[in-house]
Chains A and B, each alone.
Chain A
Amino acid sequence: MSLAAAPVDRRAETPWRRLLAEFAGSRLAVLGLALFVIILSLALLAPLVAPQDPYDLAKLDLLDSRLPPGSHAADGMLYALGTDDQGRDLFSAILYGLRTSLWVGAGSAVVALAIGAAVGMVAAYAGGRLDAFLMRIVDIQLSFPAILVALILLALLGRGVGKILLALVTVQWAYYARTVRGTALVERQREYVEAARCLALPTHRIVFRHLLPNCLPPLIVVVTVQVAHAIALEATLSFLGIGLPVTQPSLGLLVANGYQYMLSGDYWISFFPGFALLLLIVSINLAGDRLRDVLNPRLRR
C-alpha cells in the first residue's frame, strides 16, 4: 500500500503527508473517515440542517405523533424518517441526539486523556514505589467491567450530564494511563531525552515538550477506540434510563422512547436512532483500525 503511494509525494515528504498517503491506502478506512466527517458536520450544523427544532415544543404537533417515514406535516414538511410519540421529526431529533452523543463521547475522552496521560507520565518518570502503586490501581480498575463501574457510579449519583461524564472518564482514564506509561518508559531511554537532560532542561519541559509529543501516536489510536466505546456506553446507559436526563435526548434515549411502540409495529422510532449510532461507531472504528496500522512502527516496512 505504501509502495503505491510513495511516488506521488516525492517532492516534499512530511510526516503528515506520509501518514495521509498510508491512511488512504485502505478504501474502507477512507470510507469510514468520510462517513465520520459527514455525520460530524450534520451534527455540528444541526440547527441549520434539521427541518425542525426538536426542543421547541411550540413547533411540535401531537396530531403528527408516530407517523411512518415519508409522511408529511400539515404545512407540507416532510418527515423523512417519521415522527416519534410526541410528534417530533425523527430526522431532526437524531441530528440533535448525535450532537449530544458526540460531545459527551469526545468530552469524556479528552478529560480522561488528560488525567490518564498525567498519571502515566508521573508513573513512568517517577518509577519505583509510586509507579507500582499507580499501576496497581490501573490494573484493579481495568479488572472491572466498564458497565459495572458506570452502573455503580450512576446508581449512586443519579442521572445527569456531569454524572455521566464522570462515569465515562472513570471508565476510560486507566487505558490512557497504561498506554502513556508503556510508551514513556520506552521513549525516556531514547537519545533525544538524554540530550535534553544534558542541556539541563527542567523536568516539566522534558516531559511536556519532548516526551509527551513522542508518546502521541499510540495515544491517538487509544483515543479513537475509547471515543467509540464511550459513545456506545453512554447510549446504553441512557437507554437504561440511568444516563443522560430526558432534557438532553441522546440517541440512547430516542431508542428507549421507541421501545414501547415497537411491539405494535412502529419500528422506525427505535430503528433509525440506533442505526445512526451504529453508523457513527462503525465509522470511528473503521478509521481507527487503519490508524492503528499506520501509526504502528512495527508494521512499517
Chain B
Amino acid sequence: MTAFVIRRLLQSVVVMLAMSVIVFAGVFAIGNPVDILINPQADQAEIARATAAFGLNKPLWVQYLDFLRQAARGDLGRSFVFNEPALGLILQRLPATLELALSAMLIAVVFGIPLGIWAGMRPDGAAGQAITAGSILGFSLPTFWVGLMLILVFAVKLGWLPSTGRGATVRVLGIDTSLFTWDGLRHLVLPATNLALFQLALVIRLARAGTREVLLLDYIKFARAKGLGTGRILGVHVLKNILIPIVTVVGIEFGAVIAFAVVTETIFAWPGMGKLIIDSIGVLDRPVIVAYLVLTVAIVIAINLAVDLLYAALDPRVRLAEAK
C-alpha cells in the first residue's frame, strides 16, 4: 500500500509540473500584455521600463524558474489589471465557485438518486420511462443554452427569481456565503440547477442501472420474503449497494463541475473564479489566467488522487494490479 501511495503521489507531482510548464510556456503565445496595459502613445523607453517592471525581458526559462520559485511560496504574480496578487484574487472568488459547485452536486444527488431508483424499479411504467428519457435529454442539452432558457422563463417572463449576481451574503466561519440568506438562496437556485443538469442525468442513469441489477439479487428476494416493507428495502438494502458507484462518480465529477462552473458563472454573472478567468482571457491578464489554471488543475489532480487512494484502500485488487 505504501509503495502504491508513493507511486501515485509521484505521478501527481509529475503531472502538476508538466501542466505548469505547458501553462507557463503557453501563456507567452497570447500576445504582449504591455501593448494593452500602457498608453498607446508611450515611447520606446517607457515600453522598455514597463516590460522590465513586469520581468518580461528575461529569458523564458529564467522567467519559468522565477515562476516556480515564487509559486512554491504561494505567489503566482500580480494581476496586471487589478494590481493585486493573482492567487489572492482567485482565492477570494473560490468560495463562491465552491458554493455553486457543491449546491449543484447536492441537487444532482438529492433528486437524482430517488428518481433513478424509481426508474429502475418500474422501468416500463410511464414515470420510469419519462425519467429515463429526461436523463437521456440531460446528456444532449447544451447546458449554456438551458441556462439562458432558465433566465428567460423564471427571471424574464415569470419574474420569480433573480438572474444575475450572488445576492446578500453573510460571514459564516470566516467565509462569505449566500447559503444562509433568503436573498442569497434565491440567487443560487437558477445557476445551481443549471450546473446540476448534467450530473443529475448521470446520477439518474447510475442509480437506475444499479437498482435494476440489485433488485434481481437473492438478498432482496430474501428481504421481501422476510416481509420487509418496500420503503425499507429500497431505503436500506438497495440504496446501500448502489451508492458505491455513485459516490465514486460524483467524487470524480466534482472537478468537472468546478471547471464547468466557468460557463454557468458567465451566464448568471456569478462572481466566482470562472467568471474571473473569462474576463481575464479577454484582457490578457496573464498572472490571473495562470493562477486559475494552476489552481484548478491542482484541485482536479488532488480529487483524482484522493479517489484513487480511497479506491485502493477499499479494494486490494486495484493496488495489486498497479504493482505488477
Q: Interface on A for B, CB 8 Å cutoff?
A: 136, 140, 143-148, 151-158, 228, 232, 235-236, 239-242, 252, 255, 259, 262-263, 265, 267, 270-271, 274-275, 277-278, 281-282, 285, 289
Contacts and interface: CB of A to CB of B under 8 A. Distances in A.
A255 B297 contact: no
B255 interface: yes
Given A148-B297, A157-B26, A158-B30, A282 B140 contact: yes
Which of A235, A240, A282 is most buried by chain B, counting CB atoms within 10 A of its CB?
A: A240
B143 interface: yes
Nearest to B280: A155
B289 interface: yes
Contacts of B22: 152, 156
Contacts of A155: 26, 30, 277, 281, 289, 293
B145 A277 contact: yes
Contacts of B15: 140
30 contacts: A136-B11, A140-B15, A144-B300, A145-B260, A145-B300, A151-B293, A152-B19, A152-B26, A153-B26, A155-B293, A156-B22, A156-B23, A156-B30, A156-B289, A157-B26, A157-B30, A158-B29, A158-B30, A232-B142, A236-B142, A255-B144, A259-B267, A262-B148, A265-B156, A270-B145, A270-B148, A271-B149, A277-B145, A281-B142, A285-B139
A255 B297 CA distance: 29
A236 B260 CA distance: 10
A272 B277 CA distance: 28
B263 A240 contact: yes
Interface of B: 11, 15, 19, 22-23, 26-27, 29-31, 136-137, 139-145, 148-149, 151-152, 155-156, 163, 252, 255-256, 259-260, 262-263, 266-267, 277-278, 281-282, 289, 293, 296-297, 300, 304
A274 B277 contact: no
Nearest to A228: B140
A281 B141 CA distance: 8
A242 B148 contact: no
Which of B148, B151, B262, B304 is most buried by chain A, counting CB atoms within 10 A of its CB?
A: B148
